[in-house]
Amino acid sequence: MSSAVVIPAAGLGLRLGGETPKAFREVGGDSLLVHAVRGLKAATAADLDCFVVAVPPGAEEAVGKELEPYVGDARLLVVAGGAERPDSVRAALDVVPFDGIDCILVHDAARAFVPAAVIERVVEAVRSGAQAVVPVVPVTDTIKRVGPTGDVIDTPDRSTLVAVQTPQGFAPDVLRRAHAAGLVGATDDAMMCERLGVTVTTVEGSPDAFKVTRPQDLLLAEALLAERRL
């Protein structure tokens, strides 16, 4: 049994501000990308033996050198990402060696602190036969749908809503088919699978798997790291 992980890390992170692309912003002395890779390696039951990372074009060699010490004896491939996240995932998927791999994870570098247990739950669900798996947490805000004018259309029942995290896990062929279908406007990989009619299974996520998006998320990341280092 072995798994591969695709890590889109090519985003600029405009909502975060600053000059450095988001995945290379440092928290506690290491980049978000290094934290993410270290977290994935800590999930030993996931048997990750191939890491494919999509980075801003031109950064491939430098990132390869930076990450090498963290992947152990797993294979590391670094590719240039694309204009949008799905383009980056697709560029990475293109070089995944599919032979002998029973699960592919797609994991945002920006979710750098996901606990090992979440990663292992996702992989376990794929190995148990699920075609597509997402970690989820309950929604705490009331969510409303709004129209183009900003007026509220309706309020979905919050008890039926969840927030979706990464890593998302897939049977390799399903993920390949989903990306080959080239669906426009998908905001995650599971959504591409849904549109193919594939059932997407949920497992328990974690508040620690939050996505670093805005400046205050960096403060949260610092605090989380300080607590883990106690």
All residues at 6 or more sequence positions from 200 whose CB lies less than 8 Å from its CB, including other chains: 131, 132, 133, 134, 190, 193, 194
Q: Contacts with ligand C5P in 19-58 (CB under 6 A)?
A: 22-23, 54
Query: What's the CA dihedral at 204, 208, 213, 214 to 10 degrees?
Result: 140
Binding segment toward ligand C5P, per CB under 6 A, in 5-13, 97-105, 157-165, 188-196: 5-13
Indicate the burial class of 196 (C-beta count within 10 angstroms; 0-12, 13-18, 19 or more): middle
One residue of 10, 78, 200, 221 binding ligand C5P per CB under 6 A? 10
Lookup: tokens for 176: 């390949």
Whole-angstrom distance, CA of residue 139 vs CA of residue 203: 15
> Closest-CB residue for ligand C5P?
11
Task: Classify the C-alpha dihedral 25-107-204-118 as positive or negative.
Answer: negative
Site string for ligand C5P, 162-201 (x = CB under 6 A): ----------------------------------------
Does the footprint of ligand C5P cover residue 83 (CB under 6 A)?
A: yes
Q: Is 217 in the site for ligand C5P (CB under 6 A)?
A: no
Which of these ranges, 64-72, 78-86, 114-122, 125-133, lies near ligand C5P under the rule CB under 6 A?
A: 78-86
Among 211, 217, 220, 225, binds ligand C5P (CB under 6 A): 211
Q: Smallest distance from the beta carbon of 80 to ligand C5P, in angstroms?
A: 10
φ, ψ of residue 69 in degrees (nearest 5): -65, -15
Q: Which is nearer to ligand C5P, 109 or 200 (CB)?
A: 109
The reply on whether position 213 binds ligand C5P by CB under 6 A is yes
> Which parts of 146-214 fold into alpha helices (H)?
172-180, 189-195
CB of 201 to ligand C5P, least distance (A): 22
Instruction: Report how far residue 187's alpha carbon sits from residue 154's, in angstroms, rounded to the nearest whole number.
Output: 22
- Chain positions contacting ligand C5P, by CB under 6 A: 8-11, 22-23, 54, 81-85, 88, 108-110, 211, 213
